């Protein structure tokens, strides 16, 4: 699915390139066939124009969760009854996790389904454009530790890129941005998106780092919905929960 022509007017060139190549993301070619019992899920890949240029929205899962603890992710999770899947699922989760008003998101495309065997999830990435970004908020602080709008310049900076080796033997792309280490499914999706958008810069793919035991988490869908509820202008725009757990707003309404 791609957006109607009218919605595409005025979009940045990199987003047009992404939409043109969305039918054949490199990541999709590396995914196995889904099982017959795979559960449906969706994530929102939300682009916007931030204080230092175009950016991409991430959440960081709470360190107190039973699974995915501390992992950066795109907002998202499993489909629920009544969702207009996959778009409705992605927008609902983004509202719950990051305070994103669905009315302010222009949905541009749905990408290929991606199957994650460890969680038995069939994930549909939904690409959106936030042409008038409003508040960035932390939803339930028991599930989400931070919300970060990370500039694309940070994601494509070769100094912030390397490959990460999981103890299982899996080696995949990783990004060190916004005081977060993005890896696994999310990093693979970011890597494929940057390539399709024509933004990738040469980086040292021979830089392979080992994952430390204290931050191990299953290689599964970040923001799957299975978890128990338990700066300056040059930096990414962040929303952190206050010490008492209340929602913190960092981007004022326009």
**What does the pLDDT read at residue 73?**
92
Given a contact cutoff of 8 angstroms between Cβ atoms, the answer to whether 226 and 78 are in contact is yes
User: Domain limits of the chain?
Assistant: 5-152+223-239
For the chain, give the mean pLDDT. Answer: 79
Mean per-residue pLDDT for 3-14?
Answer: 76
pLDDT tens figures, 71-95: 899 999 999 999 999 999 999 999 9
First CA to last CA distance, the chain: 30
**What is the secondary structure of the chain as a DSSP string?**
-B--HHHHTT--HHHHHHHHTGGG-GGGGGSPPPPTTPEEEEEEEEEEEETTEEEEEEEEE-TTSSSSTT-EE-SEEE--TT--TTHHHHHHHHHHHH---GGG-EEEEE---EEEGGGTEEEEEEEEEESS--------TTTEEEEEEEEHHHHH-GGGEEEEE-TTS-EEEEEEETTEEE-HHHHHHHHHHHHHTT------TT-EEEPPGGG---SS-TT-S-S-----TTSPEEE---TT------S---
**What does the pLDDT read at residue 240?**
44
Mean per-residue pLDDT for 57-66?
Answer: 71
The CATH architecture of the domain made up of 5-152+223-239 is Alpha-Beta Complex (3.90)
Q: What is the pTM of this model?
A: 0.81
């Amino acid at each position: 699915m791609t957006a109607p022509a009218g919605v595409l007017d005025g979009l940045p060139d990199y987003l047009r390139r992404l939409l043109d190549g969305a039918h054949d993301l490199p990541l999709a070619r590396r995914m196995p066939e889904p099982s017959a019992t795979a559960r449906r899920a969706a994530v929102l890949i939300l682009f916007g124009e931030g204080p230092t240029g175009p950016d991409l929205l991430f959440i960081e899962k709470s360190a107190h969760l039973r699974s995915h603890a501390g992992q950066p992710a795109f907002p998202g999770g499993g489909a629920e009854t009544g969702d207009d899947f996959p778009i409705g699922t992605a927008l609902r989760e983004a509202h719950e996790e990051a305070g994103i008003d669905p009315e302010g998101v222009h949905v541009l495309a749905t990408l290929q389904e991606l199957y994650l065997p460890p969680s038995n999830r069939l994930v549909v990435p939904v690409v959106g454009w936030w042409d008038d970004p409003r508040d960035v908020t932390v939803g339930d602080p028991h599930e989400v530790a931070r919300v970060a709008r990370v500039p694309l310049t940070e994601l494509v900076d070769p100094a912030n890129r390397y490959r990460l080796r999981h103890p299982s033997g899996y080696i995949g792309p990783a990004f060190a941005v916004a005081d977060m280490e993005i890896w696994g499914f999310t990093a693979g999706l970011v890597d494929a998106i940057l390539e399709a958008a024509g933004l990738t810069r040469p980086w040292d793919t021979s830089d392979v780092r080992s994952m430390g035991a204290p931050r191990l988490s299953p290689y599964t869908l970040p923001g799957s919905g299975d978890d128990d509820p338990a700066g300056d202008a040059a930096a990414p725009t962040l929303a952190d929960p206050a010490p008492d757990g209340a929602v913190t707003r960092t981007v004022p309404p326009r």
